[in-house]
């Protein structure tokens, strides 16, 4: 559903008394589907591909990572395997995990963070709310990658060794499904039973970032580094300007110019 930023805040603020019932995810383009980074590579089309990833790709990447950070992980231990996948996910390596957060405002940050402020490429961002509490009650959670049954499984590895996950109030969905949204919706008896999607205009980015900055939800707080310090400063600068023309607005401008007539207000 399309909502304003204020309407979104009203919905999520009403849920704060049951803080962990829902998890949230923000995406910069409302047209994108919910899909893990490993499925986005297009290389996982069969269960055998999925097994190859766990049995061959993960051991291959394990050695250089542990050489760098000095850790030692037993990937035959399910808890350590889950933590390793979360670590890889937060450091840019494709995994069958999808990032979520317990904070509806951190999800909003990640939705709007990816928008080009002065030249947005999309019309709307999307923020998903997933009723994980009811989903876990309704459907079996599968953690064994050997099992071929289609599943969407909630995963909350330890934060140890992965401070980004802690700062972002992060949790994950683990799945063997390329289209997570499709799988969840297929299993809903009523619309919105488990998954809700809120679409917000990219034109609200300035307002959103001003409010998130007041909450201390910034790049510097979520992933501390010198790069994040610069990113936070740039986001504050951007928030002082109006968002550039969206694709539809730019199209209308071109049509108006080509027709040599005044642009109608949007």
| Residue 160: per-residue pLDDT | 85
Is the distance from CB of 102 to CB of 129 less than 8 angstroms?
A: no
Which segments in the chain show pLDDT lower than 70?
261-266
Helix (H, G, I), strand (E, B) or coil at 124: strand
| Residue 261: per-residue pLDDT | 61
| Residue 255: per-residue pLDDT | 84
CA distances from 259 to 253, 255, 262 (A): 10, 6, 9
User: Which residue ranges make up each domain of the chain?
Assistant: 5-205
Helix (H, G, I), strand (E, B) or coil at 173: strand
Structure-token pair, residue 201: 């205009």
- Residue 195's nearest CA partner among 130, 240, 149, 118 is 130
- Residue 244's nearest CA partner among 107, 108, 111, 115 is 115
Q: How far apart are CA 260 and CA 266, in angstroms?
A: 18
Per residue in 121-164, pLDDT (tens digit) is: 999 999 999 999 999 999 999 999 999 999 999 999 998 888 99
- Paired strand residues for 22: 131
| Residue 70: per-residue pLDDT | 84
């Amino acid at each position: 559903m399309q909502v304003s930023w204020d309407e979104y805040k009203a919905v999520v603020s009403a849920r704060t008394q049951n803080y962990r019932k829902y998890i949230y995810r923000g995406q910069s383009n409302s047209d994108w589907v919910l899909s893990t980074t490993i499925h986005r590579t297009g290389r996982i089309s069969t269960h055998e591909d999925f097994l190859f990833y766990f049995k061959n790709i993960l051991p291959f990447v394990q050695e250089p990572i542990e050489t760098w950070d000095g850790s030692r992980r037993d990937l035959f231990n399910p808890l350590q395997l889950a933590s390793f996948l979360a670590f890889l996910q937060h450091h840019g390596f494709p995994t069958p995990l999808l990032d979520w957060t317990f904070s509806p405002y951190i999800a909003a940050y990640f939705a709007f963070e990816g928008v080009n402020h002065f030249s947005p490429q999309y019309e709307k961002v999307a923020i998903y709310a997933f009723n994980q509490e009811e989903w876990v009650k309704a459907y079996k959670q599968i953690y064994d990658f050997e099992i071929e049954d289609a599943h969407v499984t909630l995963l909350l590895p330890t934060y140890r060794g992965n401070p980004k996950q802690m700062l972002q109030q992060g949790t994950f969905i683990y799945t063997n499904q390329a289209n997570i949204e499709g799988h969840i919706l297929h299993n809903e008896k009523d619309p919105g039973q488990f998954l809700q999607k809120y679409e917000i205009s990219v034109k609200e980015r300035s307002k959103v970032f001003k409010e998130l900055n007041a909450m201390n939800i910034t790049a510097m707080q979520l992933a501390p580094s010198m790069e994040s310090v610069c990113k936070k400063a740039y986001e504050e600068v951007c928030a002082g300007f109006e968002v550039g023309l969206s694709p539809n607005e730019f199209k209308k401008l071109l049509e108006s110019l080509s027709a040599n007539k005044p642009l109608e207000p949007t």
